[in-house]
Structure 1
């Protein structure tokens, strides 16, 4: 194995080190505007910088957070004291990551379905991000469950784009996170979620194989097999954990460096409980950890927004607590009592 490939494997393993997971703070300008507006904060460049640097400078964050996914604006920013965000992360032992996709757009000819764009010029962008200090990247595909969807065309188009992105990342010495998110939106049951998730993952790994992507240097960001958010009878934690593990064992090769879950609209404690239940189920071929956005940030954001200067430390303590809870869940050592 060449030095570059060895480095990819080493980085991927560090991303899913025992008891550690990934903080997703890569919201696009439009998404972060919605989040900040919802808590009464204007979405200026300075406010976005202050919010994200507050999180990244949380004391002890590196104990449970291995890396953070950044948006293009953030990886180029400096905190108010002049320290670059990347330097802030390196000091804390947190790997800098970067979102590189250009968003999910309507898939022509397939109503209600999407394909993620961003491959044009990606090789050059990845070279620049590597120079800026990025060690890993993320690309998200969006799979919607509905009447007669997803179509095979949608699954294949997204799997192909994810695999081409992953190959370009590895060429640049950057670990790819491949994220084929099966949305929770809808009234579908657990079995439907299972079938769609399995088909999505099988399509993805077939394309990763075709594109010569090194699985030992790749992280899968997966959605849990979970009932639709509007389902009348939603499956409980044990059912979700069993269905998710079963699906992953059927579709994800053991060579994959690790699996991190997205929270996908789950509540803070709900996402932690599901992860912990899975890790309590015994030995698995890959580490199972977390790459949460809202499920790590929600309470922290609300507290910070109420008084950005005065509540800074309190907001950091809330983030550190959620990171610790999920770190315990990644080891299968969490319990409700730990929530305090």
Structure 2
């Protein structure tokens, strides 16, 4: 099978109707914060136990098409001593991998950040593929204020995302391109839309320069929402603002947009995805790639106790199912009360 055919097969699985992607690629500091909130120490053993439990959720593949793994998890075995990627594949779920190496300050651009990890990426991808990974994810972030992000940050991060995507495609790996416009701050929804459009235009210009095949990549962006200090917009307002920007800036050749939840509550993320899919057919599939918005209820149900395995799995399955319904514009808040 050619590398292009490999990418096409992976894309077809990832954007199946009624399904989305589970982002379980939290770094050690991030998952330590999540575990601290439920009174669990983050160790290799507790991380392995938790992820083994959620990946073993019965019928998870009915609503989840792919899982983004952290490097540690990709090489781990489940509690039943099965390689984590094999456990997912048995559920009909495609294993993926986070490949960036985190972020830091962008030189000569106060307040802006850049993501690291291009050095040695091709070699790391070969290793990840040998363990079962078929798609990858790279995240860049954009801070929003009256002056941020700077043109320098928009251009530099777009270049990093495009170079990453090109390296992935050359190896037959589907790249998920994640330009996250952060929700932090008091900016209004109009400012969020301005930044999102500028970011997306720069990203796709860079992808074009690097000859990235749009048909075999996925975009993982933020929805267009006000900053968290500015109050919440209604789901119809979020849908209208988001689609206005995306119709202007995202080529129709992109097969799917898998939104990140970006600080939204589990219920908000589902409501907003549903509102987007109630706007009628779009050039791209509108799906989800949620982390905390899928996992938070499961983590609280588990709380580090093996006896809570079934409750944790039920909580994850419920959120996956509700987001699967939102993909078709068939979600209703009343469904939150149904077990």
Aligned to 2:247: 249
- 1:124-183 Cα offsets, whole Å, 9 max, x none, are 001111111101000000000024110111011000000000000011111000000000
Aligned to 1:189: 188
Aligned to 1:275: 273
- 1:53-109 Cα offsets, whole Å, 9 max, x none, are 101000000000000000000000001221110110110111000000001110011
Give the superposition deviation at 1:13.
2.4
Give the superposition deviation at 1:7.
2.1
Within the candidate set 300, 317, 321, 2:318 is matched to 321
Alpha-carbon distance in 1 for matches of 2:261, 2:320? 13
After the TM superposition, which residues 86-125 of structure 1 pair with which residues of structure 2 at under 5 Å, given as runs?
86-125=85-124
Q: Secondary structure at the residue paired with 2:23?
A: strand
**Conservation of the 8 A alpha-carbon contact between 2:6 and 2:173:** no
**Conservation of the 8 A alpha-carbon contact between 1:13 and 1:257:** no
Alpha-carbon distance in 1 for matches of 2:202, 2:60? 36
Greater CA drift, 145-154 or 247-256 = 145-154
Aligned to 1:333: 330
**Conservation of the 8 A alpha-carbon contact between 2:113 and 2:153:** yes
Give the superposition deviation at 1:236.
1.3
**Conservation of the 8 A alpha-carbon contact between 2:273 and 2:327:** yes
**Structure 1: any 5+ residue segments left out of the alignment?**
none
After the TM superposition, which residues 300-311 of structure 1 pair with which residues of structure 2 at under 5 Å, given as runs?
300-305=298-303, 308-311=305-308
Alpha-carbon distance in 2 for matches of 1:255, 1:89? 29
Alpha-carbon distance in 2 for matches of 1:127, 1:163? 19
Moved over 6 A (4+): none
**Structure 2: any 5+ residue segments left out of the alignment?**
none
Alpha-carbon distance in 1 for matches of 2:208, 2:161? 12
- 1:258-316 Cα offsets, whole Å, 9 max, x none, are 000100010111100000011011010010000000100111101101x5211100110
Give the superposition deviation at 1:195.
0.3
Q: Figure out how many residues of one structure are paired with residues of the other and give that number.
A: 337
Q: Secondary structure at the residue paired with 1:120?
A: coil
Using structure 2 for the length normalisation, give the TM-score: 0.98
| Aligned residues: CA RMSD | 1.0
Alpha-carbon distance in 1 for matches of 2:209, 2:301? 47
Give the superposition deviation at 1:210.
0.4
**Conservation of the 8 A alpha-carbon contact between 2:220 and 2:260:** yes
After the TM superposition, which residues 30-179 of structure 1 pair with which residues of structure 2 at under 5 Å, given as runs?
30-179=29-178
Give the superposition deviation at 1:4.
1.8
Alpha-carbon distance in 1 for matches of 2:269, 2:158? 26
Give the superposition deviation at 1:213.
0.4
Alpha-carbon distance in 2 for matches of 1:9, 1:207? 22
Q: Secondary structure at the residue paired with 1:178?
A: strand
Alpha-carbon distance in 2 for matches of 1:152, 1:250? 19
Aligned to 1:287: 285
Using structure 1 for the length normalisation, give the TM-score: 0.98
- 1:318-337 Cα offsets, whole Å, 9 max, x none, are 10000000000011111122
Alpha-carbon distance in 2 for matches of 1:136, 1:48? 22
